[in-house]
Structure 1
Amino acid sequence: MFLDTDFIPSNYTQIIEKGAFQWTAPSNIALVKYWGKKANQIPANPSVSFTLNNCKTITKLAFEAKKNDGSFSFDLLFEGKPKEDFKPKINKFFERVAVYLPFLKDYHFVIDTENTFPHSSGIASSASGMAALAMNLMSVEKALIPEMTNDYFYQKASFLARLGSGSACRSVKGQIVTWGKQANIDGTTDLYGVEYPYAVHSIFNDFQDTILLVDKGEKQVSSTLGHDLMHDHPYAERRFAQAHENLHKLIPIFENGNLDEFIKIVESEALTLHAMMMTSMPYFILMKPNTLEIINAIWKFRETTKIPVCFTLDAGANVHVLYPDNVKEKVLQFIKDELVGYCQNGQYLCDQIGNGALQV
């Protein structure tokens, strides 16, 4: 297991004037939610997520040597166009990671990024975006230190991604990723995400996630503000303990494939996340009326058909419909027949569990 000091390079063994890399990184959907953080993007509780496959960020990073004048220099393009309002977040990220990436002030960067899904709509675009950027930056560093091991490369990428957006550390690898120290899961750490190390039933190998786009607009309250509101939350400590308990309960569930118990934990976690929002001060609600309509329709459908389909939510109004591949045809028909009407412009995204970031 690496410590944060292990990610500070002692020296670079190669000199590179310019180059370019391109990576894709997926979003992820947390099953046990991370909500609340300490200093330096350290989570207040552990989490576990499914890495997605189709909802991803594609980022190209071009770089060229410049005089090190003590400043960061970069251009940022989003979907091919300059995106000035993203630049402060990237600059803040560079400030956080500069000690771990000493080359940052030696180059001018052009960051060209795009998503395969709507930005800022509760599908963790910051997770995939920061993961993709971290993978590119690590490719630059690996070019400067060719002897770098793959293990170090990926764990440092996850570590860096976390410093941009906490949940981004879960988007580097797949299929099931844990982040945050959990006493009974080997290798877990607050510093970066790790692939879930224990037995996983085959039912989860091709699990499906259909994302119902209830509201494609930007969230009224940012996740950063929501996390901050956990500091003085009256139910915070109990919530953090509950996350540890639910992650512990998932260990045998992942092994035996008990979907009834899986559903209980996943849906409870989603509702608890939003309960924390509704009971903070100031309080807020990110669910929309159609979010609740979809939840009730899923409950009714599951009760009537006994098909193991469930929902989860991120910090937004959209609904992630989770189900095993062996019931895909029936669930998609249910979505088309009963749920599409609750989606903005009838839109939804079909996704499934995936394997993490990929160089392209």
Structure 2
Amino acid sequence: MNFSVTDNDFFKETSLLSKEEKKGTVIHKSPSNIALIKYWGKHGVQLPNNPSLSFTLTNAFTETKLHYQTKAENESKSEISLEFWFENKKNEKFEQKIHKFLESLLPTQPFLGFVHLKIYSQNSFPHSAGIASSASSMATLALCLCDLEKQLLNTLENKEEFYQKASYLARLGSGSAARSVYSNIPITTWGQTNAIENTSDLYASPYSLPIHDIFQNYQDTILIVSAEEKSVSSRAGHALMETNPFAQTRYELAHSNLQKLITALEKGDTKTFIEVVENEAFVLHALMMCSSPPFILMETGTLTIIKKIQKFRKDNNIPICFTLDAGANVHVLYPNKYKNECLDFIERKLKPFCFEGKYLKDQLPVNSNQ
């Protein structure tokens, strides 16, 4: 299914709504993801300036339960009616954010104004652990909204259409969330590129090219270097790319690195994989430091951990590497066959540099149909 660039393609006539009262519950779970080819810089409404590719995680996820009931005849259908709970507690801050997001969808998703919504959300990881949860939380909300539309309007019966629209909606809430709707797909891409067929700026897609066995069940241990809120939000960081003097060079590099990574994933070339993945992490943070005003999200512990990973790789000839998101925490990536050696190294040498000794063991899901 191919959507055009206009939001009108997603408009569903509210006349399709049944006149009888409807109520029910939908539940979805979405994982976090870690980008290997980074998305940094956007245009339009959450459209990426370069394609990105990410590993889907398994253990770090958000689960959302959405209760809905159609409004009475005399109630306004042009307003969002919402209550939101996070981890079994009413959360006004999150509720305001979700309310604003749903309001922004009303012009193209008018059926949202015809229901009362109660949303309950929780993470499998501590919210204060320093792992960005916007990808998993907005992805699972988008899946719930598509399920709601399906139940109210009898649309989205096609599986591919369902997930493409969920990815489209998730993208509007958080760009990286577009890649988190595919919970059982180990690698996803987002952003149009000639290197991969059927890619789009509007929604993410399951990675469709060959993947060597060495990258199956790949491990990702997330080291919590800092649990503090970032000094500069990702949204603000993206905006600063508009005046970054190295922006165009970065976008060209992303396409080049993506092509290298595609070849490495197919051939099982861990050396090139490591070179590309670590380069992307460094470039992301270099762009932050070259912004105006500049900002630094890495901490002292981040740099210490990076150096220790690179030394361990050289000394032991084990293909372990790192990547970073837009924060201080370090994702340690390594093949499943080296899991014992890498976890022992992390416990002995890297744990002391983690906030309260915290790290989370994660991995890619086993490849299956969504």
Q: Same fold (TM over 0.5)?
A: yes
Measure, in 2, the Cα distance between the counterparts of 1:313 and 1:329. Answer: 22
Cα deviation, residue 356, structure 1 = 9.8
Q: 1:47 to 1:242 in 2, by over 3 A?
A: same
Measure, in 2, the Cα distance between the counterparts of 1:248 and 1:98. Answer: 38
Question: Residue by residue, what CA displacement relative to the aligned partner does 1:84-106 show, whole Å, maximum 9, x if unpaired?
Answer: 11123212211332233221101
Measure, in 1, the Cα distance between the counterparts of 2:60 and 2:367. Answer: 11
Q: What amino acid maps onto 2:268 in structure 1? A: G
Which residue does 1:242 correspond to in 2? 253
Which residue does 1:311 correspond to in 2? 322
Measure, in 1, the Cα distance between the counterparts of 2:147 and 2:368. Answer: 12
Which residue does 1:2 correspond to in 2? 3
Relative contact order, higher structure (CA 8 A, sep 6+): 1
Which residue does 1:78 correspond to in 2? 86
Which residue does 1:96 correspond to in 2? 104
Question: Residue by residue, what CA displacement relative to the aligned partner does 1:21-77 show, whole Å, maximum 9, x if unpaired?
Answer: 111100000000000111210011110000111100011111111123421110111
Which residue does 1:204 correspond to in 2? 215
On the 8 A contact 1:123/1:314 being kept in 2, the answer is no
Q: 1:13 to 1:63 in 2, by over 3 A?
A: closer
Which residue does 1:46 correspond to in 2? 51
Question: Residue by residue, what CA displacement relative to the aligned partner does 1:205-224 show, whole Å, maximum 9, x if unpaired?
Answer: 20000000011121111110
Which residue does 1:153 correspond to in 2? 162
When structure 1 is superposed on structure 2, of 77-86 and 331-340 the one drifting more is: 77-86
Which residue does 2:229 correspond to in 1? 218
SS of the equivalent of 2:96 reads helix
TM-score (norm 2): 0.93
On the 8 A contact 1:122/1:314 being kept in 2, the answer is no
Measure, in 2, the Cα distance between the counterparts of 1:36 and 1:24. Answer: 28
Which residue does 1:117 correspond to in 2? 125
1:342 to 348, 353, 363: 353
Cα deviation, residue 7, structure 1 = 2.3
When structure 1 is superposed on structure 2, of 211-220 and 64-73 the one drifting more is: 64-73
SS of the equivalent of 1:231 reads helix
On the 8 A contact 1:8/1:100 being kept in 2, the answer is yes
Which residue does 2:174 correspond to in 1? 165
On the 8 A contact 2:216/2:366 being kept in 1, the answer is no
Q: 1:158 to 1:35 in 2, by over 3 A?
A: same
On the 8 A contact 2:171/2:178 being kept in 1, the answer is yes
Measure, in 2, the Cα distance between the counterparts of 1:236 and 1:38. Answer: 12
SS of the equivalent of 1:40 reads coil
Q: What amino acid maps onto 2:213 in structure 1? A: S
Measure, in 1, the Cα distance between the counterparts of 2:124 and 2:56. Answer: 15
Which residue does 1:37 correspond to in 2? 42
Measure, in 1, the Cα distance between the counterparts of 2:181 and 2:330. Answer: 23
Measure, in 2, the Cα distance between the counterparts of 1:120 and 1:224. Answer: 19
Measure, in 2, the Cα distance between the counterparts of 1:105 and 1:69. Answer: 5
Measure, in 2, the Cα distance between the counterparts of 1:156 and 1:180. Answer: 15
On the 8 A contact 1:120/1:219 being kept in 2, the answer is no
TM-score (norm 1): 0.95
Measure, in 2, the Cα distance between the counterparts of 1:98 and 1:356. Answer: 35
SS of the equivalent of 1:206 reads coil
Measure, in 1, the Cα distance between the counterparts of 2:59 and 2:368. Answer: 11
Q: 1:47 to 1:100 in 2, by over 3 A?
A: same
2:16 to 12, 16, 40: 12
Cα deviation, residue 157, structure 1 = 0.3
On the 8 A contact 2:36/2:52 being kept in 1, the answer is yes
Q: Which runs of 5+ in 2 are unaligned?
A: none
Which residue does 2:295 correspond to in 1? 284
On the 8 A contact 1:208/1:325 being kept in 2, the answer is yes
Measure, in 2, the Cα distance between the counterparts of 1:107 and 1:179. Answer: 31
Q: 1:8 to 1:358 in 2, by over 3 A?
A: farther
Q: 1:356 to 1:114 in 2, by over 3 A?
A: farther
On the 8 A contact 1:27/1:52 being kept in 2, the answer is yes
Measure, in 1, the Cα distance between the counterparts of 2:254 and 2:128. Answer: 25
1:260 to 248, 268, 271: 271
When structure 1 is superposed on structure 2, of 249-258 and 159-168 the one drifting more is: 249-258
Q: 1:358 to 1:143 in 2, by over 3 A?
A: farther
On the 8 A contact 1:23/1:135 being kept in 2, the answer is yes
Measure, in 1, the Cα distance between the counterparts of 2:146 and 2:316. Answer: 48
Q: What amino acid maps onto 1:162 in structure 2? A: R
Cα deviation, residue 122, structure 1 = 5.2
RMSD of aligned residue pairs (Cα, Å): 1.9
On the 8 A contact 2:171/2:177 being kept in 1, the answer is yes
When structure 1 is superposed on structure 2, of 145-154 and 341-350 the one drifting more is: 145-154
Measure, in 2, the Cα distance between the counterparts of 1:131 and 1:82. Answer: 21
Which residue does 1:58 correspond to in 2? 63
Report the identity percentage: 50
Question: Residue by residue, what CA displacement relative to the aligned partner does 1:277-336 show, whole Å, maximum 9, x if unpaired?
Answer: 111011111111000010000010000001000000001110000001000000000001
